[in-house]
Amino acid sequence: MSTRGSRSSRLFSLAVALLALTSAPTAHAEPPDAATEEGANEPAEPPPTWRFRHDDKPVKVVVLAGSIGAWPRQPYAEQLENLCANVEVRNISKTGLGAWALKERFEQQVIDNGHLRWNVEGQEHWLVFGGGLNSVGNPRSTNHHMRRLFELAHRRGMKVVGLTLTPWGSDQDKRWRDVNGLKSLRTTRAVVDFIMGRLDPEQALGALASKRRVAADAPWDPSELPDVSIDLHDSPLRDREAPLRDLDEVRQMLAKSKEWQRAHSDLDELQRQTKLEADAREVAEIPRWYMRKELHSFDHIHPNADGHRLMAETMCPSLPESWGCACPSQDDDAADPASTDVGAP
């Protein structure tokens, strides 16, 4: 290998290592306020100077995510631009940012960007949002800041494509072992279900529903949700055929867990056994909510180039007709999940 090639390889390895250190999801602690959000202490950036430059591309798309969106090798943002003839993409994703910090970045890079032209006849503006994993341990706070971000985008005249979190997890990650795995799966699903519009405001936001511009218990206003929602969590990226965990072992683990016992101390014996069985089956299925191993990059969180290709191909059929997308046909990656005794959802 040449000296130049060796140096390039070392630099790329260093970049990957730095990405790994800064992009893992946060621990399961509810923050007292937005200031504790991942990325909240990022240093201020200089005022943005970027702009869209291609007048022959009438659909202007801003992609905003954390480290998955910032992946440097053929990210899904780049692949979407290749698939969709009418689209010009600007990817402002940044490693390590939780939902609050992504909202702040959108305001700084888009809302306050004096170089952007709005209300140009024949043009439309879209936000493709794929963040939330860095703050997934705080699902209600994450949903609240994503909701505010969608309001800001709609107020600016943009429409929103909301991408759910991608599958993530590993038996080697302590956040997915024992009873912790049940927490990680449920907090992930809470953020996924908000993007997909499956939760009402109280379910999605909890006490933070009081911060809405309308009554806390009022139905969602369309400005609070994506215009297009795409489920990447339950998608061909998911390892649907992974071996299930042993149900008897999982059942015994939960029954012995002091944390699980405390959480269900108010149940009578029949209710407790019913809940134990339901939770054990959910935990046994956890490996089928991980990302397929052949799509891993340097860890179980970040998809490789094939994973990003599959993300773009999964998004493509749901994107607006005005984007002019030529979607490739889905192959065996999109096969129906196999049936099991435990029953994968």
Determine the Cα–Cα distance for residues 186 and 178; give it in Å rounded to an integer: 14
Low-confidence ranges of the chain (pLDDT < 70): 1-42, 330-345
pLDDT at 331: 57
The gap between the terminal CA atoms of the chain, to the nearest Å, is: 48
* 311 contacts 166 by C-beta, under 8 angstroms: yes
Two structure tokens written together for 187: 């907090």
Determine the Cα–Cα distance for residues 142 and 316; give it in Å rounded to an integer: 26
pTM of the model: 0.86
- Sign of the C-alpha dihedral, residues 166, 230, 87, 119? negative
pLDDT at 2: 44
The packing angle between helices 247-256 and 269-284, to 10°, is: 130
* Closest by Cα among 185, 153, 144 to 167: 185
CA 288 to chain centre: 17
* 305 contacts 73 by C-beta, under 8 angstroms: yes
pLDDT at 22: 40
pLDDT at 43: 72
Two structure tokens written together for 207: 């006490």
In the block, which residue shows the tokens 């089928």?
Answer: 288
pLDDT at 40: 61
Q: What structural domains and CATH numbers belong to the chain? A: 32-242+290-327 (3.40.50.1110), 245-284 (no CATH)
